[in-house]
């Protein structure tokens, strides 16, 4: 039983992040008809973030558990922070995307970047849609690609969340796997046998 090398673990994290984003995009497309009111967008946002975090967490937890077993038997040196390092490519991608969004907000880049952010960061799509609708309607005067309508606090929150979600999920998930902590066992009530 061998431990994955760090580049292979990083590649797995990137692929898992892409798959989780794809599932969030499918959830957004499936619920597009129902997200016309703010509370329905909030429910879909919570479902998106929950789906994204749970998919990333479940995938990295197994690697932490495997590393714990290898470290306990002396096959590898212990490294409980490996999940944070493995998450750097995913967090770096969202950091770069956030820098592009800030530059677009400052009118250095075209404001149509918002369309790409909506496609590449679907777990936070409904957060933007609460302030700017995804499609122009007869009730809106703001074009749906106008990034100037997005407030700085919302942009800051979205940029920080897009970076911190994968970083913290991978880091905490790996650490929990490394320590053998299973959230399912902690969250689900089990009747004690006497």
> Which pLDDT tens digit goes with each residue over 49-58?
999 999 999 9
Instruction: Indicate the pTM of the whole model.
Output: 0.83
The range of the structural domain enclosing residue 40 comes to: 6-185
Residue 190 lies in a domain: no
First and final C-alpha spacing in the chain: 38
Instruction: Give pLDDT tens digits for 113-167.
Output: 777 787 888 898 888 777 665 555 544 444 456 677 778 888 898 889 999 999 9
| Counted domains in the chain | 1
Residue 40 lies in a domain: yes
Residue 171 lies in a domain: yes
Instruction: Give pLDDT tens digits for 88-113.
Output: 999 999 999 999 988 988 888 887 77
pLDDT of residue 132: 65
Statement: residue 1 has pLDDT above 70: no
pLDDT of residue 23: 92
Residue 194 lies in a domain: no
**With DSSP H G I counted as helix, E B as strand and the rest as coil, what are the percentages for the chain, rounded to 5?**
70, 0, 30
**Selection from 148, 163, 141 nearest residue 108 by Cα:** 148
pLDDT of residue 145: 60
Confidence of residue 194 (pLDDT cuts 50, 70, 90): low
Read off the pLDDT of each residue in 23-30 and give the average, rounded to a whole number.
88
Phi, psi of 87 (to 5 degrees): -85, -10
Instruction: Give pLDDT tens digits for 167-190.
Output: 999 999 999 999 988 887 777 777
């Amino acid at each position: 039983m061998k431990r994955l090398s760090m580049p292979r673990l990083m590649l797995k994290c990137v692929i898992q992040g892409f798959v989780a984003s794809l599932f969030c995009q499918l959830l957004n497309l499936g619920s597009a008809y129902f997200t016309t009111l703010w509370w329905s967008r909030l429910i879909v946002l919570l479902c998106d973030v929950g789906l994204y975090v749970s998919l990333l967490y479940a995938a990295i937890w197994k690697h932490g558990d495997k590393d714990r077993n290898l470290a306990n038997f002396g096959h590898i040196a212990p490294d409980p922070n490996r999940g944070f390092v493995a998450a750097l490519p995913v967090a770096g991608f969202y950091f770069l995307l956030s820098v592009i969004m800030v530059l677009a907000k400052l009118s250095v880049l075209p404001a149509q970047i918002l369309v790409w952010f909506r496609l590449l960061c679907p777990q936070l799509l409904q957060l933007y849609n609460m302030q700017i609708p995804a499609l122009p309607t007869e009730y809106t005067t703001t074009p749906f690609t106008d990034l100037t309508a997005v407030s700085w606090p919302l942009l800051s929150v979205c940029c920080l969340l897009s970076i911190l979600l994968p970083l913290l999920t991978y880091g905490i998930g790996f650490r929990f796997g490394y320590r053998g902590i299973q959230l399912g066992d902690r969250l689900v009530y089990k009747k004690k046998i006497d």
